[in-house]
Amino acid sequence: MRSKLNQCNKIVIVGAGFIGVELSDELKKTGKEIILIEKLPHILGLCFDEEISIKAEQVLTENGVILKTGTGVKELSGEKKVNKVLLEDGEVIDTDAVVLSMGYEPNTELANESGISTSKQGCIKVDEYMRTESPDIFAVGDCAQKHDFITRKACCTMLASTACAEARIAGINLFKLSAIKTFSGTISIFSTMIGDTAFGVAGVTETQAKKEGFDIITGVFEGIDKHPGTLAGAKKQLVKLIVGKESNVILGGEVIGGSSVGELTNIIGIIIQNRMNINSILTSQIGTHPLLTASPAGYPLLKAASNAASKTIFNHIS
Amino acid sequence: MRSKLNQCNKIVIVGAGFIGVELSDELKKTGKEIILIEKLPHILGLCFDEEISIKAEQVLTENGVILKTGTGVKELSGEKKVNKVLLEDGEVIDTDAVVLSMGYEPNTELANESGISTSKQGCIKVDEYMRTESPDIFAVGDCAQKHDFITRKACCTMLASTACAEARIAGINLFKLSAIKTFSGTISIFSTMIGDTAFGVAGVTETQAKKEGFDIITGVFEGIDKHPGTLAGAKKQLVKLIVGKESNVILGGEVIGGSSVGELTNIIGIIIQNRMNINSILTSQIGTHPLLTASPAGYPLLKAASNAASKTIFNHIS
């Protein structure tokens, strides 16, 4: 694929999930003309809240990628190879190549042939030990059924890190089951990088939480990922927390920043999986260092929790 | 201080805690001859286990700093200004300047004058709301008494991030106390950077845990902080966990790596403060990204937990 794309000057990429966005960014770095098509109103639209997606769009377009959002692809055409893309809005784009990054489905062929049950969503049914309905057979990874840690509903998170977490559970239960080593539900947790700006999410977004019926508040803070912010390589760092209004428990978080975003997202993941609430975050200790983190007085995760706390205290007024 | 040191070619720094080590590293970058003196056998000897300190020494000496460990300073001499350092081992070092980075003591003058009690260690006595014995007066920061989260004993952790954590507690209890917003004990949590290698620690080290009488096991894993490891800027990442042998609860962790070490250390901090055990780590999900984290199959924090788990399972044999 890489050697074929090297010979192209103009490439259309269809689908602006992580794969489409990262591929656009990487191919743009090689100097090609890149057009990214997304049917949803915004790129990464299933992953992040709108305002975070818009920031990702800004970085991507500043780097030179051309975005066409809110329109799908109606037809790919050409002789011998595709060289035209007809969009749903009527626009026709000439191109040297088209890359489809439009998602994937679980491969359950082997399970189906073996008589192992699959779910309505087409995933292999598993319990919290990752056992299929056939007790000597375990299933993990993209083919295995998932239940969301927060919504407690079936979900379709397909991530290498999720697959590895499930594999750990299966591994430690292979020879004998252990009731303290079960899988308590899938959390969406991932990060991506566009140019030198990283974006991360753990748990549910504000949009997802509201859609599921959670009564929530949010807390947001933007700071700098080193201190003082004048240090070389310092990047803005934004943290948004999604918090249950009654429980004050953290349901999700989104992050924008520099190279520390991957592990910062993992902090939020651990917070969610421990069902920590705003108070337990505000009374926690974090470590800071000028070159490695935000300042202790302006650490965005704590400040976002503090911002959410201010809404809780006054929510009887609003 | 900076303008004076700029005029010096050779500088002796006394005390190889964080301040002395970071100052040595920064001054070395400006091309000066730097000699760092430490009375303990290793630099950062109170912060890290010996093998981590030795790695820090390797980075520092590769960067050109001259180390003299295991010997203290007997005498500083000179006319008008210091220009000779006599070490306890008899060596005499000529120098253009000496920087003392030998620690600090709480300033409790105001408290003493006000009749507010101080502890045996010379810190202002405070309760878990950060109140002094005078109920309308709160104390936070380096001057305030601390209790270690793990050892439950008085400790002298003096960090900006600890001060800010205490300030949050004091702030939210200033007008009325809240029983769910108390300080549950100080954890040592900090990171440092020498050249482009970062070192972090949270909770107790193996040395400290054994000294306090904890029966512990450790788990260690070294991986790479991006994946694949051939990516530009990838650094080795080492995680060492200190784990209670009976409880399997995480008591501490040490980290070596690149720019993600600050937040990775904070993950371990949150793990400790939630009293997570090996199982709860192994059944947790983390997010990964090629440019931002280790690989999902070789994530050092999980692998270190796994390494510790293997020792637990077989500890009836050993």
CA A244 – CA A247 distance, rounded (Å)? 5
Among residues B208, B190, B199, B194, which one has the least CA distance to residue B255? B199
Q: What is the pLDDT of residue B104?
A: 87
Six-digit token string for A220? 């947001």
Cβ distance of B285 and A269 shorter than 8 Å: yes
> How are strands ordered across the β-sheet holding A92-94?
A73-77, A84-87, A92-94
Mutation for testing the A interface, residue in B270, B271, B274, B276 having most A CBs under 10 Å? B270
Q: What is the pLDDT of residue B318?
A: 41
Placement of tokens 């003058």 in the chain = B109
Q: What is the pLDDT of residue A299?
A: 98
Placement of tokens 């894993």 in the chain = B221
Chain A residues touching B310 at Cβ < 8 A: none
Nearest to A164 among B264, B265, B297 (CB): B297
Contact A202, A272 (CB under 8 A): yes
Is residue B180 predicted with pLDDT exceeding 90?
no
Nearest to B291 among A169, A181, A193 (CB): A193
Chain B residues touching A183 at Cβ < 8 A: 283
Distance of CA A210 to the CA centre of its chain: 17
Q: Which residues contact B109 (CB under 8 A, 6 or more apart)?
A: none
Q: What is the pLDDT of residue A156?
A: 85
Q: Which residues contact A265 (CB under 8 A, 6 or more apart)?
A: A189, A190, A191, A200, A201, A202, A253, A255, B287
Burial of B298 (0-12, 13-18, 19+ CB in 10 A): middle
Chain B residues touching A295 at Cβ < 8 A: 160
- How much is the ipTM here? 0.95
Cβ distance of B262 and A159 shorter than 8 Å: no
Q: What is the pLDDT of residue B317?
A: 44
Residue B235 region by backbone torsions, left for phi larger than 0, else alpha for psi between -120 and 50, else beta: beta
Nearest to B262 among A265, A266, A293 (CB): A293
Cβ distance of B192 and A289 shorter than 8 Å: yes
The per-residue pLDDT for range B220-257, each reduced to its tens digit, is 999 999 999 999 999 999 999 999 999 999 999 999 99
Burial of B197 (0-12, 13-18, 19+ CB in 10 A): buried
Chain A residues touching B291 at Cβ < 8 A: 193, 198, 259, 262
Q: Tell me which of B142 and B317 has the higher pLDDT.
A: B142
Return the amino acid letter for B212.
Answer: E
Q: What is the pLDDT of residue A122?
A: 93
Six-digit token string for B273? 């403060």
Q: Which residues contact B213 (CB under 8 A, 6 or more apart)?
A: none
Q: Which ranges of chain A does DSSP label H, i.e. alpha helix?
A: 2-6, 18-29, 50-62, 109-114, 160-173, 206-212, 261-273, 278-282, 300-313
| Residue ranges of chain A whose pLDDT lies below 70 | 313-318
- Tell me chain A's radius of gyration from C-alpha atoms: 22
Give A183→chain B minimum CA distance, Å: 6
Give A236→chain B minimum CA distance, Å: 15
Cβ distance of B270 and A270 shorter than 8 Å: yes
Secondary element (H or E) of residue A251: strand A250-257
The per-residue pLDDT for range A150-174, each reduced to its tens digit, is 999 998 889 999 999 999 999 999 9
Placement of tokens 């109170």 in the chain = B46
In 3-state terms chain A splits into helix, strand, coil percentages (rounded to 5) of 30, 25, 45
> If you average pLDDT over every residue of chain B, what do you get?
95
Give A54→chain B minimum CA distance, Å: 21
> In the A/B pair of chains, how many CB contacts fall below 8 A?
193
Q: Which ranges of B124-252 does DSSP label H, i.e. alpha helix?
A: 160-173, 206-212
Six-digit token string for B317? 């044999």
Give B24→chain A minimum CA distance, Å: 16
Half-sphere exposure of A151 (CA within 13 A, CB side): 22
Residue of B nearest to A18 (CA): B289
Q: Which residues contact B69 (CB under 8 A, 6 or more apart)?
A: B16, B37, B38, B40, B41, B42, B43, B57
Helix or strand or coil: residue A64?
coil
**What are the two backbone dihedrals, phi and then psi, of residue A73, each rounded to the nearest 5 degrees?**
-100, 130
Q: Which residues contact B51 (CB under 8 A, 6 or more apart)?
A: none
Summarize the confidence of residues B187-215 as an average pLDDT: 97
Helix or strand or coil: residue A257?
strand
Give B306→chain A minimum CA distance, Å: 9
Q: What is the pLDDT of residue B313?
A: 64
Q: Tell me which of B121 and A95 has the higher pLDDT.
A: A95
Six-digit token string for A236? 């803005």
Give B107→chain A minimum CA distance, Å: 21
**What are the two backbone dihedrals, phi and then psi, of residue B129, each rounded to the nearest 5 degrees?**
-95, 0
Mutation for testing the B interface, residue in A194, A280, A289, A301 having most B CBs under 10 Å? A289
CA B138 – CA A172 distance, rounded (Å)? 49
Q: Which residues contact A2 (CB under 8 A, 6 or more apart)?
A: none
Q: What is the pLDDT of residue B259?
A: 96
CA B305 – CA B92 distance, rounded (Å)? 47
Contact A142, A167 (CB under 8 A): no
Q: What is the pLDDT of residue A313?
A: 64
Strands A66-69 and B73-77: unpaired
- Whole-prediction pTM: 0.96
Q: What is the pLDDT of residue B224?
A: 98
CA A277 – CA A301 distance, rounded (Å)? 13
Length of chain B in residues, anyone?
318
CA A18 – CA A40 distance, rounded (Å)? 14
